[in-house]
Amino acid sequence: MGLPVVLITGASAGLGLAIANALRQREYRLILTARESSLTRFAEHGIEESERIWLRPLDVTRDVERKAIVAEANARWGGVDILINNAGISLRAVVEHVTEADRSLQMNVNYMAPMELTRLVLPRMRKKRRGHVLNISSVGGMMAMPTMSTYSASKFALEGASEALWYEVRPFGVHVTLIQPGFINSDGFEHVRFTDLSQTAHDTIHSAYHWHYHYMQGFIGRVARRALATPDSVARTIVRTIEHKRPPLRVPATFDASVFSLMRRLLPRTLYHWILYRSLPNVSDWGPRLTKKP
């Protein structure tokens, strides 16, 4: 039996890169993937191809590329033993500012693509009666924030499907884990995308939702910069989860994720939502601001 084969999507930056760096110090064979335009980042971080590291282009939304990477892993390394669905995007927009095309993009990257990759690797895992699928979820998959509805929808979907999968494949010896990071001290929050409509509202002071974007963007940036968790600390949690004999279905990967998970379990739902609403930055100004003179 060779070294376990790990396939990581979105591995050229951020959390994906941290996971790759953590695992390449251990006894694994790695298939590190990223969009073709991002492959040069691996060399910038000292990661080169070797006997146990492949660097492959992968747009997770393209079916032909998903099938090709899994087929190559099956043919040359006997299949994927550990799949880490890390690639994802975040759209910042209120519900009114999300079009059907925006929703399709968000769901395709964050939900449909990881589930399809999972579908492709499962036959070999079932045959070997071992394997582990780790889906990188988020606190946004256990609670929703204003201006991030579509992102939360994609993570809620990923959580629901992963929970069903946990029951389905457990009889075959295959594990399923949802990794739930909260705020991470990185530049990830700077890569959140606006939709066309939300960008216009953000830039227009008299827009009904201008202050939603103004305050939430600043709030998220401040909290992220003060967060104790880093991509490396979350990656270490993921490595421990991979090497756990009985990995759990859900793993809160940051302190705030653990707090929010505890709040959801212990507080009456009405009180829980009231606390979160009153904790939103300057929320009393969001609506009335529209009627004030500049």
Residue boundaries of the structural domains of the chain: 5-186+229-266
What is the pTM (predicted TM-score) of this model? 0.94
Residue-level pLDDT at 134: 98
- In the predicted model, what is the mean pLDDT of the chain? 94
| Tens digit of each residue's pLDDT (9 = 90 or more) over 164-217 | 999 999 999 999 999 999 999 987 767 899 999 999 999 999 999 999 999 999
> Would you name the residues annotated as active-site residues?
137, 151, 155
What are the C-alpha distances in Å from 246 to residues 94, 177, 241?
A: 39, 10, 9
Identify the band that residue 288 occupies on the pLDDT scale cut at 50, 70 and 90. low
Residue entry with tokens 């899994």: 70
High-pLDDT (> 90) share of the chain, %: 91
| Tens digit of each residue's pLDDT (9 = 90 or more) over 12-41 | 999 999 999 999 999 999 999 999 999 999
High-pLDDT (> 70) share of the chain, %: 97
CA distance 4 to 239: 13
pLDDT at 293 over 60: no
Given this structure, which CATH class describes domain 5-186+229-266? alpha beta
Identify the band that residue 291 occupies on the pLDDT scale cut at 50, 70 and 90. very low
Q: How buried is residue 171: exposed, middle or buried, by Cβ count under 10 Å (0-12/13-18/19+)?
A: exposed
Q: Among 150, 37, 143, 42, which Cα is nearest to 88's?
A: 150
